[in-house]
Amino acid sequence: MQSLKVIISGGGTGGHIFPAIAIADAVKRKVPNAEILFVGAKGKMEMERVPQAGYKIEGLWISGIQRSLTLKNLAFPLKLISSMAKARSIVRMFKPDVAVGVGGYASGPLLRVASTRKIPSLIQEQNSFPGITNRLLAAKVSKVCVAYEGMDRWFSKDKIVMTGNPVREQVVQLEGKKPEACTFFGLKSDKPTLLVVGGSLGARTINHSIKKNLQLFKDAGYQLIWQTGKLYGETAYEAVREVDYEGIKTFKFIDRMDLAYAMADVVVSRAGAMSVSEICLAEKPAILIPSPNVAEDHQTKNARALADKGAAILLADKDAEESLGKEIKSLLNDKEKQSTLSRNAGKMAHRNAAEKIADEVLKLAKKN
């Protein structure tokens, strides 16, 4: 293909941004001279992360509707009008061959404009229960790339393509990396190691539960890599300092997740779609604690899809503070259980998802 222009829109959290970047990288591998423009929401983390990955981004003044009654919702109509106008301007100036939406606030206005201009569009739905933006866009787009079975409950069967979720390729390339991981984290290779991740913004219940059990790690000689999120970083640091155990390392954000997975024997995580996909691809035994504060409780549905096939342990958020310590100790001491969970998680992994989605993008561009 001699030239290709692609707009990728969406964001708000790492769970939307990193898949979008993975898709962009896959498109560039197939068409090195492709022009790719991201469209995100002003003030959200994509405005920082996307340029760091080497791509241009435009921001829309947009946010979601709050589920509770709040004055913030009064600004939503104005934000929507502003974002639609900005999206029209972006599409008119950039003239994309294909538009891709990955979910999140910004993808709604951009794909709505693209579809009215007859630009082929594709959405990537990461969860087992689709977000409202993608449900609203489904009738307008040409293809829907999904990661779970049974998505024809929400999307037209003839539009669905099973691709899996696109993860950053280097994140799940773990072979031979444990020595580097030991050096990077300052940990020992022969001690059981737990990785705790609560998503890019952190997870309150998981953080409180881990803090409550810090003495357990010291007494048992376990090692802990604890990604706290930016809001809990200082609290976690002070708690670890009080325990005074060099086997616990805290981070607000981990840039080298490949080394974190390489080091980990067991993972404790929320059940966001991208976290679940990474765990399956990395073939790591995991305790999943779904966030109760997400639309339609979709994280519980994500976690249930694994737990029902013996590919993860599902622990409800309301039970975490009381039971997480016992679950961690039980799993870190049970190599056979770890092997079973790891093997079953690997069976659920969808490999080369970004490449498959990039192929669909190119097919749409050729039709256009």
Confidence of residue 127 (pLDDT cuts 50, 70, 90): confident
Query: Any binding-site annotation on 164?
Result: no
Query: Any binding-site annotation on 352?
Result: no
CB 76 within 8 A of CB 65: yes
Same domain, 140 and 197: no
Same domain, 363 and 264: no
Query: Any binding-site annotation on 116?
Result: no
Query: Any binding-site annotation on 135?
Result: no
Same domain, 265 and 289: yes
Same domain, 37 and 134: yes
Query: Any binding-site annotation on 168?
Result: yes
pLDDT averaged over the chain? 91
Same domain, 38 and 85: yes
CB 13 within 8 A of CB 295: no
Q: Which of 115-129, 193-207, 344-358 has the lowest mean pLDDT?
A: 193-207
Q: What is the CATH number of the domain that holds 305?
A: 3.40.50.2000
Same domain, 236 and 224: yes
Same domain, 21 and 60: yes
Question: How many other CB atoms are found less than 10 A from the CB of residue 162?
Answer: 13
β-bridge mates for residue 269, sequence order: 197, 288
What is the model's pLDDT at position 64? Answer: 59
- Compute the CA torsion angle 286, 301, 258, 55 (nearest 10 deg): -170
Separation CA 130–CA 132 (nearest Å): 7
Same domain, 248 and 271: yes
Query: Any binding-site annotation on 124?
Result: no
Contacts 24+ apart (CB under 8 A), 216-220: 216/325, 216/328, 216/329, 217/243, 217/245, 217/247, 217/248, 218/243, 218/245, 218/247, 218/248, 220/192, 220/329, 220/332
What is the model's pLDDT at position 69? Answer: 54
Same domain, 178 and 69: no
CB 51 within 8 A of CB 24: no
Find the domain containing 281 and state its range: 170-347
Contacts 24+ apart (CB under 8 A), 69-72: none
Query: Any binding-site annotation on 127?
Result: yes
Query: Any binding-site annotation on 101?
Result: no
Same domain, 139 and 107: yes
Same domain, 213 and 140: no
Same domain, 130 and 190: no
Give tens-digit pLDDT for 197-253.
Answer: 986 666 899 999 999 999 999 999 999 999 999 888 999 999 999 999 999 999 999
Confidence of residue 60 (pLDDT cuts 50, 70, 90): confident
What is the model's pLDDT at position 169? Answer: 78
Give tens-digit pLDDT for 317-329.
Answer: 999 999 999 999 9
- % of the chain residues with pLDDT over 90: 71
β-bridge mates for residue 162, sequence order: 146
Q: How many domains does the chain divide into?
A: 2
CB 167 within 8 A of CB 277: yes
